[in-house]
Amino acid sequence: MIVGVMQVELLIHDAMTLKDKRRVVKSIKDRISNAFNVSIAEVDELDRHRKAILGISMVGNDSDYVRNSLDKVLNCLRSARGASLVDCQIDLI
């Protein structure tokens, strides 16, 4: 069993309040979870309105498949509206 874990840091554009941030983050989380077979949650920086850290995980039996799937998620995050990708960390266990 291979577990892929990815942590991404996003800069939220034009978010003046936490409500603005939640709207953008929810949209990104919904789009990613519907398009890919992954679990996704906001895991840190919950009180900052311009920054979000998301945790994304996936389980599979082939490390190449898990890595390629997480790379596709990463490409989708790079083109997300309303946010910019700042940092990314991927680990396969």
Q: What percent of the chain has pLDDT over 70?
A: 100
Tokens standing for 63? Answer: 């490390």
pLDDT at site 15: 84
Give the domain CATH number at 9. 3.30.70.1120
The DSSP output letter for 32 is: H
Q: Three-state SS for 15?
A: coil
Q: For residue 32, what pLDDT is reported?
A: 93
State mean pLDDT over 50-67. 93
Q: Specify which residues 56 forms β-bridges with.
A: 6, 40
DSSP 67: H
Average pLDDT over residues 41-45: 90
Closest CA to 52 of 40, 63, 43, 61: 43
Range list of β-strands (E), the chain: 2-12, 39-44, 51-60, 83-92
Total number of domains constituting the chain: 1
Residue 14, pLDDT score: 84
Domain around 39? 2-92
In whole angstroms, give the CA distance from residue 52 to residue 35.
20
What does the pLDDT average to over 80-89? 90
Percent with pLDDT over 90 in the chain: 75
Model confidence, pTM? 0.86
